[in-house]
Structure 1
Amino acid sequence: MPERRTGGHSITVEAPMRVAFGVVVDISMWQLFMPPVVHTEILERHGAGELVRLWALTNGEAVRTWLYRRHLDTSERRITFVNESPEPPLASLRGAWSFRMVDERKTQVERHHEFGVVDDDPLTARRAAEGADADARVELDAVSMVAERHRELDKILLSFEEGLLVRGPVRAAYEFLDEVSATKNVRLCFPHRKIVYKDVAVPEHLDALTGHWTLTEHQDGVTVGARHTAMIKPSAAGAPALGGAATLDDARAHLREQLGEASMDVLRRARDFAEGTRSRLMGPIASR
């Protein structure tokens, strides 16, 4: 059995314990503030336990996916996790988040991990430890950043959805969206169902921009939908890219208009392309 190696880091967050704990609990938002995370899906939820699939960018290049089982202990303010699909060189990986109240406005957050490597190779173990330590620091910094902005999240977070009915083949609509979204930095493709994206090189007035395109078939055609979520930098007020908006509320409204116009333009073009494809397919049939 591989030797079990441990590590961990902690950070003091200028936020109440319930806030810091809630940031880690809500894994559906991790792609917005955890730099490597591209997408998450909760596959199962039973009481305090959940099974999560997580996609993340590794080494700034490839996207990989893992299954994690988490247990959320709200009374002890502790979250444990186990990687159920470790890949070499890791033979196992588990850990925990713990939260301790310093005072009503401060929380100490600790991220602990425990792992084993294939064949117990010392060099591999050292590199794995360095990687795990780096991941812990990045995650703690991200949790701190979001938790400390909790009072202004309603101003700096923007999320909206919209959609169009397309009377054309789902394959054509998907192919169009796939081509258009290729300009995004990172994307996950679920053929003819969903395309998830995350901008890695975001504009200077944003901290994050993520979203997805969805395709739902029904008897009337295909509903093509879009969801976009952005985190605006608190310093974005006055940014030229946001129309020089004087306040964060104005900046948020301007960004909503910008993203909405671009999103609807893509949806309309996807509709036109798919319905044009349908017409081209039906043309030869109708002429027989």
Structure 2
Amino acid sequence: MSVERVHRMSYAVDAAAPAGALYTLVADATQWPLFVADTVHVERLDFDGAADRYARWADVDGELRRSLVRRTLDAGRRSVAFSEERPGAPVTAAGGSWSVEELAPGWSRLTLEREIVLGGRSPEAERVIASVEKGDRAALAGLRTAAERWRRLDGLLMSFEESVRIEGPAEPVYAFLYEVGSWPGQVAHVVDAEVTEDRPGVQRTRLVSLADDGSEYTTRAVRVCFPAAGRIVFKRTRPHPLLAAHAGEWSVEPDASGVTVVCRHEALLDEPAVERILGPDADLARARRYVREVLGRESRATLAPATRDAGDPVRTLRSV
């Protein structure tokens, strides 16, 4: 008979940031793809102001894992209690809390307490513990780094979208967006593409693109595809050289006479790269304009072949 074992972990980091700024980053998990290295996508499923429930996709040791998490948020105490629904074996239960303490004006401490119940002792259980500890420490470091830029963070964050209206069926449009390997030769800026699938609908991509000056740059991404919903969410694990992080979503939204295709972008500028790439006189405003122009142009170029092929026969796609 297997005996359950409880493993408790506690970590803390101090940040040169106000407690309120640090708590805001912890509470808004939807932005974690920009701040937490292993987080690919977070989708809030329910929220009533004091409690929420979300799905999180994380790239853990080369494997994309999905978890469902319930949280209770207490802004007054700057604490967030969480529990994971139906964790995967050998974990039988998982939960804990985040808390933010003000140490002094402009200084705060972020503490993460976690408890994992494991179904006995095994090599797999030990790997799970090591993986969780690695992810937790990376999350603390990422949130601290973001919080310490709190004065400039609004200028570093970008959120925008490109859309196009297509008079045609949704299926071939979605199929083109799904089949990244076919983009070279069809999408103007893409000169090479490699795609692997961890499992149906979970893709890892490597794209080589042309910059404005004709040079090439490489991006890598993890994509999670939802054919039934007409959605593909992505995080570039190696983003454009001017960005520290980049995530987003393609969505194909049908109506009675056609579809609207939207590409949404969430990005975090890499501040040290601005002067190096754009020149000594460049500032954040110029970098924002540049990134907006480049990503917008690339999105429109990607949609051009999809628009052209909208009349192709319907193809069946695999579901995640």
Fold match, TM over 0.5? Answer: yes
> 1:245 Cα shift?
6.0
Distance 1:123 1:220 in 2: 56
How does 1:200-279 map onto structure 2 within 5 Å?
200-240=237-277, 242=278, 246-275=282-311, 277=312
Query: Where does residue 50 of structure 1 map in the other structure?
Result: 52
> 1:196-227 CA distances to partner (integer Å, 9 max, x unpaired)?
11111224432111111101111121001111
Query: Where does residue 63 of structure 1 map in the other structure?
Result: 64
Contact persistence 1:158–1:230 (CA under 8 A): yes
Contact persistence 1:239–1:245 (CA under 8 A): no
1:25 and 2:27 correspond: yes
1:37 and 2:39 correspond: yes
In structure 1, stretches of 5+ residues that fail to align are 281-288
In structure 2, stretches of 5+ residues that fail to align are 182-194, 196-204, 206-219, 315-320
After superposing the two structures, state which structure 1 stretch, 16-25 or 265-274, moved more.
265-274
> 1:22-64 CA distances to partner (integer Å, 9 max, x unpaired)?
00111110111111111111111234111111111121x2212
Q: Provide the aligned C-alpha RMSD in A.
A: 1.9
Using the aligned pairs only, state the percent identity.
Answer: 32
> 1:168-202 CA distances to partner (integer Å, 9 max, x unpaired)?
11000000111138545200001051011111122
For 1:23, give the aligned amino acid. L
Relative to its length, the structure with more strand (as a share) is: 2
Relative to its length, the structure with more helix (as a share) is: 1
Q: Which has the larger radius of gyration?
A: 1
Contact persistence 2:174–2:252 (CA under 8 A): yes
How does 1:50-199 map onto structure 2 within 5 Å?
50-59=52-61, 61-118=62-119, 120-121=120-121, 123-180=123-180, 182=195, 183=205, 184-191=220-227, 193-199=230-236
> 1:59-93 CA distances to partner (integer Å, 9 max, x unpaired)?
1x221211100110111111011011200121111
Distance 1:46 1:108 in 2: 27
Distance 1:243 1:187 in 2: 33
> 1:243 Cα shift?
6.8
Distance change (3 Å), C-alpha of 1:175 and 1:75: same
> 1:137-187 CA distances to partner (integer Å, 9 max, x unpaired)?
101001001111111122211211121111111000000111138545200
| TM-score after normalising by structure 1 | 0.90
